Amino acid sequence: MEKRGSIIGGLVLIGVGVFFLLMQFFPGLAGVINMERQWPLIIIGIGGVFWLAAILGTPPLTIPGTIIGGIGSILYYQNLTGNWASWAYVWTLIPAFVGIGMFCMSILGDGGKHARREGGRLVVIGLVMFVIFGGFFTGLGSLGRLWPLFLILAGGWMLLKNSLSRR
């Protein structure tokens, strides 16, 4: 695992170095790429490197790859729209990113059904929290008034699941 970690770190450093070297040799490229707006793509790319390493033989790296890529995607959206206040509720997607990573890790052959099930739970938890917090902070139209209903449904689901597991 240590050898693979140094390979991933090396690939990240080479990729970032090549990118900035190209920016120095081709100054016009900086105007085309507009790093002021596109910098989150670097973070998404680092997540992609983790995913590449996961596909090449280290499936657990899908989890950090999905987290890094997901946060990079959030930052890209916020940077393009200027909606930085959305961080008040969009952070709730991070557990969903972990769940997606676990689910994909099980597909790539590590973790089995347990990782798939727990990953699915984290995705549901993250999305439910996103809807609740998003409704609370932004209103989300008519859904904004119904966010307490999602709390009630989540609580009812937990009670039902608990009573079914006892039988």
Q: Where are the domains of the chain?
A: 2-166
Per-residue pLDDT of the chain (167 residues; tens, 9 = 90+): 556 656 666 777 787 788 778 878 887 776 666 667 788 988 998 898 888 888 888 888 899 999 999 999 999 999 989 989 889 889 999 999 999 999 999 988 877 788 888 888 899 889 888 887 887 777 655 555 666 777 787 778 778 777 777 66
CB 77 within 8 A of CB 24: no
pLDDT of residue 143: 58
Residues across the chain? 167
Spatial separation of the C-alpha atoms in residues 106 and 100, rounded to whole Å: 10
Check residue 151 and give its pLDDT. 74
For residues 127 and 77, the answer to whether their CB atoms sit within 8 Å is no
Q: Distance between CA 167 and CA 155 in Å, rounded?
A: 19
Q: For residues 124 and 130, is the Cβ–Cβ distance under 8 A?
A: no
Contacts of 62 (CB under 8 A, 6+ apart): 50, 51, 54, 101, 102, 104, 105, 108
- The answer for residues whose C-beta is within 8 angstroms of residue 57's C-beta and 6 or more apart is 4
pTM: 0.71
pLDDT of residue 25: 82
Q: Tell me if 53 sits within 8 A of 83, measured CB to CB.
A: no
Do 147 and 131 form a contact (C-beta atoms < 8 A)?
A: yes
Q: Which residue has the tokens 């961080």?
A: 87
Element (H, E) at 78: helix 62-81
Q: Do residues 115 and 121 lie in contact, with contact meaning Cβ atoms separated by under 8 Å?
A: no
